[in-house]
Chain A
Amino acid sequence: MTTTIYSQISRNKRNTWLIIISFIIFVSFLGWFTGQVFFEGSGTFFVLLALIFSGFSCLVSYFESDKIILAVSGAREVAIEENKYLHNLVENLCIGAGLPKPRIYIINDTSMNAFATGRDPSHSIICFTSGIVEKLTKLELEGVIAHELSHIGNYDIGLMSIVTVLVGTVVLISDWVTRGMFYGGRRKSASSNSEISGILMIVGLVLLILSPIIATLMQLAISRDREYLADSSAALLTRYPDGLASALKKLSQDTEILEAANRATSHLYIANPIKSENRGFLASIYDTHPPISERIKRLEEM
């Protein structure tokens, strides 16, 4: 058990760097491409521009992603006096897990969900919807908190938060460039008909079409397995897998939609906040979460 978690921690740290570097390379290439095709071969200048931009957004997402995510989700911090019950549960489980106590945020929404964010355990935040705090029993809520604490302890949160912001940026950029290409392409079509520019155009087009897909897949790859791992660490921490299992059951029966969640932040939550019925094969490829029934089954087998 311990070896799995330790290797998970080092893998998370490594992946964080990998994602930052591939983001910088991706943006630089987009910059070069934009410069070559639309601005008469001033690629180098645009690579520099892209490097500055991507470096800046990596720094921002490393240090500020938690604040961005909380602002997007409409969460506010809860003081100890305001909800002593919740603070106490979190504090006790933190003692058990040997983690510093995270700050606690609440989203005012009657649907049931929760997520953790921050860059490392000493800068961590747990966010609950007011619905989950009110509707779950103490034992169930402990299971949920332990699940989120495992994400914190395994360094999942840093990676997931950075991915949220960087993936959001990639989608945004490719959006811009796609629009720019149609605009710029029309303007340039009369003057340039060289072969190189044609090939570049195709490569760029493929890249632009692929980039949102790559971004989505990246988001998925990092979130499915770690839900299982966080579930089992949570069971280890509370010594009561049934608590989390019964919480997940309630979460899966909850039909309310969390308005504050969107495609960029959905993978952070304990249960997928974006619900839709009768999804086909394609939709299930893009699922950010393993099926809840499977998670409950694994917990009940413990």
Chain B
Amino acid sequence: MLPIALIVILIFGGYFVIVYNGLVSLKVKVKEAWSGIDVQLKRRSDLIPNLLETVRGYAAHEKEVFENVTKARSALMGATNPSQAQEANGMLTSALKSLFAIAEAYPQLRASENFTNLQNELSDTESKISYARQFYNSNVRDFNSKIIMFPGNLMAPMLGFKQEAFFEANEEEKQPVKVQF
């Protein structure tokens, strides 16, 4: 009787270890993917001070817009988790939108090489963010479905694994960009 019990325990123990390791490695992948987004978000916020300086040189009196952008930027830099970062990034996107709307009224600013460079860099960073988001979300999807499905659904609560949040695009970002002439 004892040997059979031992074998059963061994099998279950081994199975447990395999499932546990699978969950851990998926969780590590989610974290790695998140740091991929984080790098790009940081790059985005690093571009802001330069951009503000440039715009200020031509349109110094648009204080409110500058303030909004600065506020959104510091919120993004201070974000400690994906959902905060997501919200701050959305704020920054809409603040930048009004900044660029103002820039439209200053032909000299639009013509300045510095401004166009920064604009290109920003849009490049934004597309990088969206690719990083795609990779992150696909990892989160793998991890979450492991947790929901058997046997993860039994073991995850015991081991303290929780579903991870997706990094969604803001409603505004999802809209196609309007081009005005």
Q: Which residues of A contact B (CB under 8 A)?
A: 2, 88, 91-93, 95-98, 237, 239
Contacts and interface: CB of A to CB of B under 8 A. Distances in A.
A98 B127 contact: no
Q: Is chain A's binding surface mostly helix, strand, loop or mixed?
A: helix
Contact of A96 (B32, B124, B132, B142): B132
B127 A2 contact: no
B142 A98 contact: no
18 contacts: A2-B142, A91-B128, A92-B127, A92-B128, A92-B131, A93-B131, A95-B36, A95-B40, A95-B128, A95-B131, A95-B132, A96-B131, A96-B132, A97-B135, A98-B33, A98-B135, A98-B139, A237-B134
A98 B124 contact: no
Nearest to B136: A98
Interface string B63-97: 00000000000000000000000000000000000
Nearest to B36: A95
Nearest to A1: B138
A2 B139 CA distance: 11
B124 A95 contact: no
B102 to A, nearest CB: 28
Interface string B105-147: 0000000000000000000100110011011000100100000
Q: Is chain B's binding surface mostly helix, strand, loop or mixed?
A: helix
Interface in B19-64: 32-33, 36, 40
A118 B158 CA distance: 43
Contacts of A92: 127-128, 131
Q: Which 6 A-B pairs have the closest CB atoms?
A: A96-B131, A95-B131, A98-B135, A96-B134, A95-B132, A92-B131
Given A95-B36, A95-B40, A88 B124 contact: yes
A91 B132 CA distance: 11
Nearest to A89: B127
A88 B36 CA distance: 16
A95 B135 contact: yes
Contacts of A2: 142
A92 B124 CA distance: 9
A239 B135 CA distance: 12
A291 to B, nearest CB: 31
Nearest to B127: A92
B128 A98 contact: no
Nearest to B135: A98
A2 B132 CA distance: 18
A91 B128 CA distance: 8
Nearest to B124: A88
A120 B53 CA distance: 44
B139 to A, nearest CB: 8
A275 B24 CA distance: 49
B93 to A, nearest CB: 18
A85 to B, nearest CB: 11
Nearest to A237: B134
Nearest to B32: A98
Given A96-B131, A98-B32, 16 more contacts: A2-B142, A88-B124, A91-B128, A92-B128, A93-B131, A95-B36, A95-B40, A95-B135, A96-B132, A96-B134, A96-B135, A98-B33, A98-B36, A98-B135, A98-B139, A239-B134
A85 B92 CA distance: 26
A239 B40 CA distance: 21
Nearest to B131: A96
A254 to B, nearest CB: 29
A240 to B, nearest CB: 12
Contacts of A97: 135
Contacts of B135: 95-98
Interface string B131-170: 1101100010010000000000000000000000000000
Query: Chain B CB within 10 Å — which of A93, A95, A97, A239 has the most?
Result: A95
A88 B123 CA distance: 12
Nearest to A236: B138
A93 B128 CA distance: 8
Contacts of A237: 134
Contacts of B128: 91-92, 95
Contacts of B139: 98
B167 to A, nearest CB: 13
A93 B127 CA distance: 10
A92 B127 CA distance: 7
B128 to A, nearest CB: 6
B56 to A, nearest CB: 28
A239 B33 CA distance: 19
